[in-house]
Amino acid sequence: MMDTDTPLSPTSRRMQARIIEAVIDTVAEHGISATTLALVAQTAGVSQGVLVFHFRSKEGLLTATLRRQNAEYRDLWLQAQTKADPLDRVLALLRADYSPEICTRRTLALWFAFWGEAAARPVYRDLCEAAERDRAQAMEQAAHDLVAIYGGPDAGLLARAVDSMTDGLWLQMHLHGARMPRKRALEQALAHLRLLMPHLADRI
Amino acid sequence: MMDTDTPLSPTSRRMQARIIEAVIDTVAEHGISATTLALVAQTAGVSQGVLVFHFRSKEGLLTATLRRQNAEYRDLWLQAQTKADPLDRVLALLRADYSPEICTRRTLALWFAFWGEAAARPVYRDLCEAAERDRAQAMEQAAHDLVAIYGGPDAGLLARAVDSMTDGLWLQMHLHGARMPRKRALEQALAHLRLLMPHLADRI
DNA sequence: TAGAAATAACTGAGCGCTGAGTCAATTTTT
DNA sequence: AAAAATTGACTCAGCGCTCAGTTATTTCTA
């Protein structure tokens, strides 16, 4: 069990998913530093022992959570890759970052929690970095294709500008909460994109 | 002592500064969750008791550190406000965010550490939010003046785009470390600005 | 297919240890 | 000599993790 790729029994799979949900809730509400096995167990409605049984340690529990978070995020933006037209692809990638699944108090808090510990824990750093990089490459590819067809600024710069805007708006949503709702953030990101590509503004 | 505004003796002031330095080192290296009074005391080369004497609790110690961090950041960008020409002011504000003081492993790790805990601790959230807002307003004012004189895109959008780019690049520097050095980040921010204001590109 | 045997999943009391915070005693500053 | 600053041994609540025992699930056998 755990991080080997042994096929999990449905029972275990369900339990692990349930536990990870509880971890996310706990971290989002209390922060990583106040997340304890007892609290997670209580939130999940199971005994403390089962956490260790499935994830070996608190550390294992947190990295598993981060891994699942990464996978879920990846799944989300991979769907956006299916579009044929590069502008649609860029827009879909962008919209994915402002989807209701991502722009939750819960989810944003989780990302920032792990980013906050990333400097201290190489495991977190590597996982966060990898997720970020994969996504950035996808955007860069899409931007490259876009510029090749429609023209525009340097593709790399364009991609990074869009992604950076996202990080900034995520921070705003994370800190300001209700005063920067998802829809406003999305509208701002789109306005930014229009500014970067005035010649395609009518399609954005 | 502590957060009252009683004038501190030079002895206390020096000791508190020394302790806060140690907190920053400790948080940057081990993260908030692994920062203990013992570790901070050891790093500062003092006894554990003195931490409590000056800051009452671990919580007090951390909020004092955040407050000082805010103040230092504020001092830095306030200097940039002195410029007369609004373009110079925008550029100075931007450059401040990429100054060697800010773009340290240490400093970035500290910001992200507090942002990571912000969702769970209202005190941190409020402090981070306030700092962010003050700074954003300064940028918005400068952008507004700039657009009034030189023309360009919507001032608010411009300001937010610049600041968001910063947050994104801070995240990159934080996660990727050496692969995103300060100078490259600055160069990217400037290139982004040139894209947003082509008519002023030659002055950027 | 019923039921027994074997394995997997889970419980919760408990252990050792480390954390934050205390305080009487000591040193330093005023 | 009085006040302020500092020490470090101490407390004890709460942490991660263990493990003997229990329950659920799957596999085997007649």
- Give the pLDDT mean for A66-91: 96
3-state secondary structure of A46: coil
- The better pLDDT of the pair A68, A8 is held by A68
In which band, very low, low, confident or very high, does the pLDDT at B77 lie, cut at 50, 70 and 90? very high
Structure tokens at A130: 């990898």
Judge contact between B171 and A115, C-beta under 8 A: yes
Inter-chain CB proximity A33 and B32 less than 8 Å: yes
pLDDT at A89 over 90: yes
| Min Cα–Cα distance to chain B from A129, Å | 6
pLDDT cut 70: percent of chain B above it: 97
pLDDT cut 90: percent of chain B above it: 94
For residue A116, is it left (φ>0), alpha (ψ between -120 and 50) or beta?
A: alpha
CA atoms within 13 A on the CB side of A128: 24
Q: What is the DSSP letter of B6?
A: P
**Residue in B with minimal Cα distance to A153:** B195
In the block, tokens 């203990």 appear at B36
> Quick check: B188 CB within 7 A of strand D?
no
Dist CA A46 CA A53 (whole Å): 12
Inter-chain CB proximity B34 and A120 less than 8 Å: yes
Neighboring chain B residues of A124 at a CB cutoff of 8 Å:
none
pLDDT tens for B18-55 read: 999 999 999 999 999 999 999 999 999 999 999 999 99
Number of neighbouring beta carbons within 10 Å of residue B82 = 9
pLDDT tens for B131-146 read: 999 999 999 999 999 9
The alpha carbon dihedral of A48, A53, A58, A62 has a sign of negative
> Quick check: A36 CB within 7 A of strand D?
yes
CA atoms within 13 A on the CB side of B110: 25
Inter-chain CB proximity B160 and A166 less than 8 Å: no
Chain C positions with a protein C-beta closer than 7 Å:
8-14, 18-24, 29-30
Inter-chain CB proximity A121 and B31 less than 8 Å: yes
| Nucleotide nearest A51, from its CA to each C1' | C10
Dist CA B23 CA B53 (whole Å): 15
Interface test with A, best of B30, B33, B103, B170 (most A CBs within 10 A): B33
Element holding A189 (H helix, E strand): helix A182-196
Element holding B148 (H helix, E strand): helix B122-150
| Min Cα–Cα distance to chain B from A52, Å | 20
Inter-chain CB proximity A153 and B115 less than 8 Å: no
**Residue in A with minimal Cα distance to B158:** A192
pLDDT tens for A1-41 read: 334 456 788 899 999 999 999 999 999 999 999 999 999 99
